[in-house]
Amino acid sequence: MKQKYKSQDEYYTRREQVEALLIYLKPNSVIWCPADIDLISNFAKVFREAGHKVICTHIWEEQDFLTYEPDFEFDYIITNPPYSIRKQWLEKTISYNKPYALLMPIISIMLKDFKRILMTEDIELLMFLRRVRYITTEQKNQPTETGYFCKGIIGNNIVVVDNES
Ligand SMILES: C[S@@+](CC[C@H](N)C(=O)[O-])C[C@H]1O[C@@H](n2cnc3c(N)ncnc32)[C@H](O)[C@@H]1O
């Protein structure tokens, strides 16, 4: 049975945003994309084309990231998560103690709950020079100023990628 979801969570990532991560990933990695549907996700497509193994899970397959226990090994957690539960998502991601990259609104760092996380988590930011656009039917309410919250990926504290205008 499909679970409830919020329309604000249905924004799909373009290839360009995934390609920006490729130079940072170790060859032949296993990447868990836990908010992604196989054959649809550009994370899955781009990473596979680059030679990585990708494991997708998604709430529509009854794999709620916040409660799901993976029975596989992986090197990275990378996705564009649902923004309505972004804080819980980040906390759950951190709990795996693996490198990660989560595409989320940069403004999140101004939220008190996020600031609490930043007190102990050494997060790296990969930002885009121009506003990131998503694949969605709701063109008007696209999330603004998103970038990757990462750990163990880019090595620097802040990287800015010159994306397409
Ligand atoms: C912002 S969209 C991004 C989808 C995909 N990762 C991409 O970038 O194209 C987030 C997705 O996470 C799904 N989702 C919502 N809650 C979830 C949960 N608890 N566990 C796994 N997926 C969830 C939503 O239905 C939505 O499809």
Contacts made by residues 42-51, CB under 8 angstroms, sequence distance 24+: 42/12, 42/13, 42/14, 42/15, 42/17, 42/18, 43/13, 43/18, 43/78, 43/79, 43/80, 45/15, 45/18, 46/15, 46/18, 46/19, 46/22, 47/18, 47/22, 47/78, 50/22, 50/25, 51/27
Q: What is the pLDDT of residue 73?
A: 98
| CB-ligand 1 contact for 12 (6 Å cutoff) | yes
pLDDT confidence tier of residue 3, bands split at 50, 70 and 90: very low
Mean pLDDT of 80-92: 95
Please say if the pLDDT value at position 108 is more than 90: yes
Q: Quick check: is 100 in a domain?
A: yes
Question: In angstroms, what is the span from residue 64 Cα to ligand 1's centroid?
Answer: 9
pLDDT of residue 39: 92
From 2, 4, 5, give the residue whose CB has the most ligand 1 atoms within 8 Å, as the site to mutate.
Answer: 5
Please give the residue range of the domain that contains residue 59: 7-161
The fraction of the chain above a pLDDT of 90, given in percent, is 78
Q: Classify residue 53: in a domain, yes or no.
A: yes
Strands 146-151 and 124-128: antiparallel
Across 36-65, average pLDDT: 97
Q: Tell me, what's the pLDDT at 157? A: 87
Q: What's the predicted TM-score (pTM) here?
A: 0.94
For residue 2, being part of any structural domain is answered with no
- Mean pLDDT over all residues of the chain? 92
**Burial zone of 18 (CB within 10 Å; 0-12 exposed, 13-18 middle, 19+ buried):** buried
* 1 domain-assigned: no
Residue nearest to atom 7 of ligand 1 (CA): 12
Residue 80 near ligand 1, beta carbon < 6 Å: yes
For the segment 77-97, the average pLDDT, to the nearest whole number, is 96
Count of H-run helices and E-run strands, the chain: 4, 7
> Is there an atom of ligand 1 within 6 Å of 146 CB?
no
Which residue's CA is minimally distant from atom 13 of ligand 1?
A: 35
CATH number at residue 96: 3.40.50.150
Do 150 and 101 touch, CB atoms closer than 8 A? yes
Give the pLDDT confidence of 114-159 residue by residue, as tens digits: 999 989 999 999 999 999 999 987 767 778 889 999 999 998 788 8
User: Does some domain include residue 51?
Assistant: yes
Query: Is the pLDDT at 1 greater than 70, yes or no?
Result: no
Phi, psi of 148 (to 5 degrees): -90, 125
User: Distance between CA atoms of 1 and 15, rounded to whole angstroms?
Assistant: 30
Looking at the 3D structure of the chain, how many domains does it have?
A: 1
Q: Is the CB of 21 under 6 A from ligand 1?
A: no
